[in-house]
Amino acid sequence: MMIGFDYGTSNCGVATMRNGQPHIIPLLGDESYIASNLYAPSRDVITNWLSQQLVGTQHADFLAARKNQLQKGQSALRELKFDGISSELLFGKMALTQYLEDPEEGYYIKSPKSFLGASGLAKTQIQFFEDIVACMMSNVKKLTEQTLQKEVTQTVIGRPINFQGLHGEESNRQAINVLTNAAKRVGFKDVEFQYEPVAAGFEFEASLTKETRVLVVDIGGGTSDCSMLLMSPDFSNNDNRNEHLLAHTGVRIAGNDFDIQLALQGIMPSLGMNSLLKTGKPMPTANFRQALAINNINEQTEFYSAKNRREMELLSRDAQESELVSRLLTVHDHKLSYQLVNAAEQAKIGLSDHEEQTICLNDIHDSLAVSVSRATLKQANMRTLDNIAQLMTSAVAEAQCQPEVIFVTGGTAKSPVLSEFLQQQMPGIPLVVGDHFGSVTSGLARWAERIYR
Model confidence at 167: pLDDT above 70: no
pLDDT at 255 (0 to 100): 80
Least confident window among 60-69, 131-140, 429-438: 429-438
pLDDT band at 333 (very low <50, low <70, confident <90, very high): very high
Least confident window among 26-30, 302-306, 400-404: 26-30
CA dihedral of residues 232, 235, 241, 245 (deg, nearest 10): -10
In 153-207, where do the E strands start and end? 154-159, 190-195
Residues near 37 by beta carbon (within 8 Å), at least 6 away in sequence: 91, 92, 95, 96, 108, 109, 110, 111
Q: To the nearest whole percent, how much of the chain has pLDDT over 90?
A: 72
Burial of 56 (0-12, 13-18, 19+ CB in 10 A): exposed
Compute the distance between CA of residue 135 and CA of residue 225 in angstroms, rounded to an integer. 27
CB atoms within 10 A of CB 349: 15
**210-253+382-434 CATH pick, 3.40.190.10, 3.30.420.40, 3.30.70.2190, 3.40.50.150:** 3.30.420.40
Q: To the nearest whole percent, how much of the chain has pLDDT over 70?
A: 99
- The b-or-e profile of 212-232 (16+ CB within 10 A means b, else e) is bbbbbbbbbbbbbbbbbbbbe
- Average pLDDT estimate for 243-269: 90
pLDDT band at 336 (very low <50, low <70, confident <90, very high): very high
pLDDT at 56 (0 to 100): 80
| pLDDT tens-digit readout, 193-206 | 999 888 988 888 88
Compute the distance between CA of residue 48 and CA of residue 14 in angstroms, rounded to an integer. 26
CA distances from 214 to 110, 254, 308 (A): 32, 21, 49
Model confidence at 444: pLDDT above 80: yes
- Of the candidates 243, 247, 241, 244, the one whose C-alpha atom is nearest the C-alpha of residue 161 is 247
H or E, element range at 289: helix 286-292
The dihedral built from the CA positions of residue 201, 219, 433 and 340, taken in this order, carries a sign that is positive
Contact 245, 372 (CB under 8 A): no
Model confidence at 162: pLDDT above 60: yes
Model confidence at 88: pLDDT above 90: yes
Longest dimension (CA), the chain: 71
CA distances from 362 to 95, 164, 272, 359, 388 (A): 21, 35, 16, 9, 34
Structural domain 2-196, CATH architecture = 2-Layer Sandwich (3.30)
pLDDT band at 430 (very low <50, low <70, confident <90, very high): very high
| pLDDT tens-digit readout, 404-426 | 999 998 877 778 898 889 889 99
Whole-model pTM: value is 0.84
| More confident call, 419 vs 222 | 419
Least confident window among 96-105, 232-241, 305-314, 334-343: 232-241
Contact 294, 260 (CB under 8 A): yes
3-state secondary structure of 453: coil
Mean pLDDT of all residues belonging to the chain: 92
Distance of alpha carbon 416 from its chain centroid, rounded? 20
Contact 176, 159 (CB under 8 A): yes
Residues of the chain with CATH 3.30.420.40: 2-196, 210-253+382-434
pLDDT at 242 (0 to 100): 83
| Amino acid at site 94 | M
pLDDT at 135 (0 to 100): 97
